[in-house]
Amino acid sequence: AVSMVLFTSDLRVHDHPPLRAALRATDAVVPLFVLDTGIDATGFAVPNRRAFLADCLTDLDAALRRRGGRLVVRQGEVVAEVCRVAAEAGAGEVHVSAGVTAYARRREERLRRALESAGRRLVVHDAVTTVVPPGVLTPAASDHFAVFTPYFRHWSQHRPRDVLGAPRVVRVPDGVGSADLPARRDVAGVSEGLAAGGETAGRRRMAAWLRDGIARYAGTHDDLGADATSRLSAHLHFGTVSPTELVRRARAADGAGAGAEAFVRQLAWRDFHHQVLAARPHAATADYRTRHDRWRTGPRAEADIEAWREGRTGYPLVDAAMRQLRHEGWMHNRARMVAASFLAKTLYVDWRTGARHFLDLLVDGDVADNQLNWQWVAGTGTDTRPNRVLNPLAQARRYDPDGTYVRRWLPGSAGADGGGPRPVVGLAEALDRFRQARGPARPAV
């Protein structure tokens, strides 16, 4: 008998429940990845993530080959391709990780129906892409937590499942055709400083982080110049690192103490956003809490948006952040907060415009984490202080006091008070505009 594993955001062989279950069920397994033309159509498959994905698939194929197998890659509409491969291989079951986006859930439903009508079975696995599956922790009166602190209290008490080792042997049946693996060098328009993808790189980074980085995290995670965060976000997004394994190993890391605690808390933020999106898929585009904002539009707003995108707002920290994004396809969390607040509150431009730009470039660009963090910063989301506005000059003094970060990305800039373009707007004027424009909050969607 043959079974199949459809890989999605879980591009690894370690700690992979669907692969483990498929190998337990049958003696031959088809590990499949579909380059889904449906995703291309959404505009989500941008160069930085396509390049990182190519690395991930190459590395996954190599890992499977070392175990006697290989990765089958197909290109086309995902449901049709899965059905076609299942028919070619004579697979009775298809194993897949549960997704949270509207797209992933529709895919799951369509797959289930299509496979069942051909007498096959879809098996969906939880706790692969998050530590705690969405829907497991809920408050008394709702299907999801809308506030982080109580969520985190429950999350901390939840015992993650056991970590699974990588299988030793993966036998893939003959005669299942595969397209060529995509190659990073064939992707045009990739950020110059983009990190390498793949499980090998991810596991290496995880090990180095647990050994050398995590212990100092509590004191340095907001220090822009120190650049001392894990940089595991893209690996978590593509699933080349397992969040469950990461949490378990962080908690067990020798002498990491407060650093491990602070780091694990950030991983809980990731689960938090995923459970919000799973319960409210529309929050990817609609305000989570409608504040009836009348965001600025028109030629002046367009010019401000362009200045923001290109890193010439005249506020060095914002401009440095936007240049890091373009150069690396990644941005420090503190810089993301300042740059996003600047667009949504100081320029008072619709958060969707900024979120789209981030998604166009971020290698870790994730529907749940990007859209909901943007909503959090814009004050339309789950933030409990929706009308707080970050001052980009005060933020620079606090988190980049000696200007290391600004100089790294804006060489030649004299720091907070010299050189560079003129500010696109004065902060006092912007604050007035924001306070006058924003009406009172309305209940959640």
Tell me phi and psi for residue 443, to 5 degrees: -65, 165
- With binding defined as CB under 6 A, does residue 366 bind ligand FAD? yes
Q: Which helix (H) or strand (E) holds 271?
A: helix 257-279
Site for ligand FAD (CB under 6 A): how many residues?
28
- C-alpha to C-alpha distances, 373 to 127, 242, 414, nearest whole angstrom: 22, 21, 31
* Residues composing the chain: 445
- With binding defined as CB under 6 A, does residue 364 bind ligand FAD? yes
* 343's tokens: 């667009």
Q: Which residues of 69-98 are buried (b: 16+ CB within 10 A; e: fewer)?
A: bbbbbbeeebbebbbebbeebebbbbbbbb
- With binding defined as CB under 6 A, does residue 266 bind ligand FAD? yes
Choices 10-18, 91-99, 372-380, 381-389; region in contact with ligand FAD by CB under 6 A: 372-380
Q: Provide the terminal-to-terminal Cα distance of the chain, rounded to the nearest Å.
A: 47
- With binding defined as CB under 6 A, does residue 249 bind ligand FAD? no
* H-state helical runs in 197-242: 199-208, 217-220, 233-238
- C-alpha to C-alpha distances, 188 to 108, 199, 295, 360, 361, nearest whole angstrom: 31, 23, 34, 14, 13
- With binding defined as CB under 6 A, does residue 7 bind ligand FAD? no
Choices 113-121, 130-138, 266-274, 426-434; region in contact with ligand FAD by CB under 6 A: 266-274
Which one, 104 or 362, has the nearer CB to ligand FAD?
362
Which one, 21 or 338, has the nearer CB to ligand FAD?
338
Residue type, 195: A
- With binding defined as CB under 6 A, does residue 370 bind ligand FAD? yes
Identify which of 337, 352, 368, 370 has the alpha carbon closest to the alpha carbon of residue 305: 352
Which one, 58 or 370, has the nearer CB to ligand FAD?
370
Do the Cβ atoms of 433 and 323 come closer than 8 Å?
no
Choices 161-169, 179-187, 365-373, 381-389; region in contact with ligand FAD by CB under 6 A: 365-373
Q: Which of 145, 152, 342, 358 binds ligand FAD (CB under 6 A)?
A: 358
- With binding defined as CB under 6 A, does residue 248 bind ligand FAD? no
Which one, 69 or 133, has the nearer CB to ligand FAD?
133
Name residues contacting ligand FAD, limited to 297-336 (CB under 6 A).
332-333, 336
Which residues neighbour 211 within 8 Å (Cβ) at sequence distance 6 or greater?
none
Q: Which of 26, 48, 233, 242 binds ligand FAD (CB under 6 A)?
A: 233
366 is in an annotated binding site: yes
Least distance in angstroms from the C-beta of 228 to ligand FAD:
9
Query: What is the DSSP code string of 397-433?
Result: HHHSTT-HHHHHHSTT--STTSSSPPPSS-HHHHHHH
Q: Which helix (H) or strand (E) holds 185?
A: none
Q: Which of 11, 201, 236, 250 binds ligand FAD (CB under 6 A)?
A: 236
Name residues contacting ligand FAD, limited to 91-130 (CB under 6 A).
none
233 is in an annotated binding site: yes
Which one, 6 or 340, has the nearer CB to ligand FAD?
340
Interatomic CA distance for residues 15 and 259, integer angstroms: 24
Least distance in angstroms from the C-beta of 264 to ligand FAD:
9
Name residues contacting ligand FAD, limited to 329-348 (CB under 6 A).
332-333, 336-337, 340
Least distance in angstroms from the C-beta of 362 to ligand FAD:
5
CA angle (294 as vertex; 282, 427 as ends), nearest 5: 115
231 is in an annotated binding site: yes
Q: What is the DSSP letter of 184?
A: G
Helix (H, G, I), strand (E, B) or coil at 122: strand
Question: What is the strand order of the sheet 2-6 is part of?
Answer: 72-76, 28-36, 2-6, 91-97, 121-125
Choices 164-172, 367-375, 389-397, 419-427; region in contact with ligand FAD by CB under 6 A: 367-375
Name residues contacting ligand FAD, limited to 384-443 (CB under 6 A).
none
Which one, 304 or 364, has the nearer CB to ligand FAD?
364
Q: Which of 8, 26, 101, 230 binds ligand FAD (CB under 6 A)?
A: 230
- With binding defined as CB under 6 A, does residue 270 bind ligand FAD? yes
Interatomic CA distance for residues 304 and 378, integer angstroms: 17
Which one, 358 or 399, has the nearer CB to ligand FAD?
358
* 35's tokens: 């380059």
Least distance in angstroms from the C-beta of 359 to ligand FAD:
7
What residues are designated binding site for FAD? 217, 229-233, 263, 364-366
What residues are designated binding site? 217, 229-233, 263, 364-366
Interface with ligand FAD by CB under 6 A: which residues? 221, 229-233, 236-237, 266-267, 269-270, 273, 332-333, 336-337, 340, 358, 362, 364-366, 369-370, 373-374, 377
